[in-house]
Amino acid sequence: MGRLILLLGGARSGKSTYAEQWAKTNGGNVLFVATAQAFDEEMTTRIDLHRASRPAEWHTLETPQHLARALATQSHAVDTVIVDCMTLWVTNILLSFDDHATEASIHAETETQVTELLGYIAHHPATWLLVTNEVGMGVVPPTRLGRYFRDALGFANQRVASHADEVILLVAGLPWRLK
């Protein structure tokens, strides 16, 4: 079994930078799992900048959902896996439902995909760095969809944190070890 490190914090708190620096220093053969989807020009630009900033020797797997299934198809032997990020992964799960989806159906699918990923991680010898946003420290979202997202991501974060060897909260680029 590998080592699981959960990196969480607010937007622009330094989570991804921390993960990338950790991997550059300790990572060996690195697989970067990107969950973003380009729904508009601005996001396309962001994705392009992220691709260009990663070391050329890193492998990249781009998958918006079903991470465990996608990881099972990649053939690279790796020492470190960065999943960036769980926030967009859960967003993609939520957006796969129609407007009439229930909170229970969204929760069930999120739970299924998180369980699959944790099962995959448990049988893989790499060090895993999972990047996610902490969205439970702000105001209650004013929309049903916003509340479903906050709750689904909060659940996913709690599940991963309970299995993680380390949990690090980043605030203004500074790491606080929680576990």
The structure's pTM equals: 0.94
pLDDT score, position 137: 86
**Residue 1 scores a pLDDT above 80:** no
- The pLDDT-based confidence of 50 (bands split at 50, 70, 90) is confident
Going by C-alpha positions, the residue among 156, 169, 167, 82 that lies closest to residue 126 is 82
Q: From CA 152, how far away is CA 55, in angstroms rounded?
A: 32
Segment 95-124 shows an average pLDDT of: 96
- The pLDDT-based confidence of 119 (bands split at 50, 70, 90) is very high
pLDDT score, position 17: 94
CA 15 to chain centre: 11
- The pLDDT-based confidence of 57 (bands split at 50, 70, 90) is very high
Q: Are 67 and 118 in contact (CB under 8 A)?
A: no
Q: Which two tokens stand for residue 135?
A: 């969205």
Residues recognised as catalytic: 50
Cβ neighbors of 130 (< 8 A, separation 6 or more) are 4, 5, 6, 7, 83, 85, 86, 160, 164
Domains of the chain with bracketed CATH: 3-177 (3.40.50.300)
pLDDT digits (tens, 9 = 90+) for 143-153: 999 999 999 99
